Structure 1
């Protein structure tokens, strides 16, 4: 075995195993998406891409896609905007820093489904903690059904999505901040650079690799995030809080449309693949320029 081929041969078993674990489900979904499928998941005849035509012509598809993009970008951008200052604060030395870090990380250890249940109880229009607190402080005259209308339910779900995404993002940023060389910051401080200038011209450029990780992983995770919306509203009222992944569940297991659900799965996979590759290419191009 040559020295050049040895590394590739060593990782070949892992690559083949990963390809099988990931590739076979994708192949199975693609096969189901172009065949008629009964309610028991058995494929029958080739249907000439009828599942895709039905999906794209469905009256809910465009709305679901737009809402999914709003949900994804809203949660990802909001998470990063809030996580950066939190990570900067937790990176400083102050009394109780370790306790503060633990408090920030604790929600990460809690099941996402359990957090959604807690928020659903808290936002209950009749006995929820949110209404009770607002009423106690004189900010509310009558109960509000927070999750009963799309005007309040969907923005609230985005806000909750941001809160549950902060621990992971802060952890990544803290790892990045701890790896930055302190001497260049000290030199910039001696040269008279302000805190904002150090943040803009030193911290953020040096954190760029970690920002790329956070963007890609959070985008994939949030795009496919099912428990939060499903537990809080199940996509209601009238599909107004549904995103693609919750609608996919309804198509497959509530309406028995397994063929169309498979087509939607393939479309979601291609969207994520295209966006991830595009972002990776842009990031690599910017690195070459720098």
Structure 2
């Protein structure tokens, strides 16, 4: 006797219900807490007081520092993600080739990924120290600078130093994604291209990039999420200073919530960050969907 097919959905829901309820609890309770805090007056010790509505959001938006922080967050995200993609593509192409010592080269590239982001930021803070840092010592021994440079004392310079560190720590993960994509590309298409006389640049532009597009899209989305919420690099190297010149939204949120005793405003900023990430993901997914349908239509027309 065959089982009743109408019971299958109920059985499936019963099987996944425990894990589903656990996931809802883990995600739902913190989200409810953040929304509740953003709509109430919260003491610096976390005690919920009177309902204030959107007052926390209004205070955040009226803060002149917050506008600069949002703009710097966009700069940080675009520069780190864009730089990571530009560096990772040629690195992955080199590591995909068969050469002596390729395994060692791949290990060296992946090493920053094995070290915690906190320890990496501490090492780079030491390296850029103006008195005993490795960077000033190396540049001075090469005769490139005449005296020590205070890399992290100047806000503009410190921010771009942190962007460089952000690119460095993001490359291993992105290279791993691209190597997975390159390993799935059939080699016979390159052999055919060689026989047709295509140059290396033509093969890269006409074959490699289109075949890597799904992996590039994946790397962009994941890196935007990670970099947008990246806390240790900026906080450990400069703590958002000097004079709030290197703050991004997540470090500014931490300062408001845990140093200045304004957790309600910090909760409001966290919801703004969530809204920005959701907006980016939806827009990017739609743009890529239109690009994919457009290229498919062109291919069918051809």
Secondary structure in structure 2 of the residue aligned to 1:239: coil
SS in 1 for 2:64: coil
> 2:127 maps to what in 1?
122
Q: Distance in 1 between matches of 2:18 and 2:180?
A: 31
- CA, structure 1 residues 15+191, in 2 after alignment: closer, same or farther (shift >3 Å)? farther
Partner Cα separation in structure 2 for residue 176 and residue 64 of structure 1: 35
The match for 2:67 is 62
Q: 1:282 matched to which residue of 2?
A: 287
Aligned residues of 2:156 and 2:245 also touching (Cα < 8 A): no
Alignment equivalent of 1:156, drawn from 157, 161, 164: 161
The range that moved more, 179-188 or 240-249, is 179-188
Structure 1 position 98 matched with structure 2 position 98: no
Structure 1, 207-216 or 9-18: larger mean CA deviation: 9-18
After TM superposition, the score normalised by the length of structure 2 is: 0.92
Partners of 1:48 and 1:27 lie apart in 2 by 15
Structure 2, unmatched stretches of 5+, are 297-302
Q: Distance in 2 between matches of 1:78 and 1:68?
A: 15
Unaligned runs of 5+ in 1: none
> Which protein is bigger by CA-based radius of gyration?
2
Q: How does 1:1-290 map to 2 (within 5 A)?
A: 1-2=5-6, 5=9, 9=13, 11=16, 13-289=18-294, 290=296
Q: Compute the displacement of 1:6 (Å).
A: 7.6
Instruction: Name the structure 1 match of 2:299.
Output: none
Provide the aligned length of Structure 1 versus Structure 2. 290
CA deviation string 1:252-285 (max 9, x = no partner): 0001001000001100111111111111121122
- Hey, what's the Cα distance between the residues in 1 that align with 2:27 and 2:67? 28
1:226-269 Cα deviation digits (max 9, x unpaired): 00001100011000001111010000000100100000110011
Instruction: Measure how far apart 1:22 and its partner are.
Output: 1.9
Q: CA RMSD, aligned part only?
A: 1.6
Question: Aligned pair in 2 of structure 1 residues 137, 3: CA closer, same or farther (>3 Å)?
Answer: farther
Aligned residue for 1:146, secondary structure, equals coil
The alpha carbon displacement at 1:59 in A equals: 1.1
Change (3 A) 1:173 1:67: same
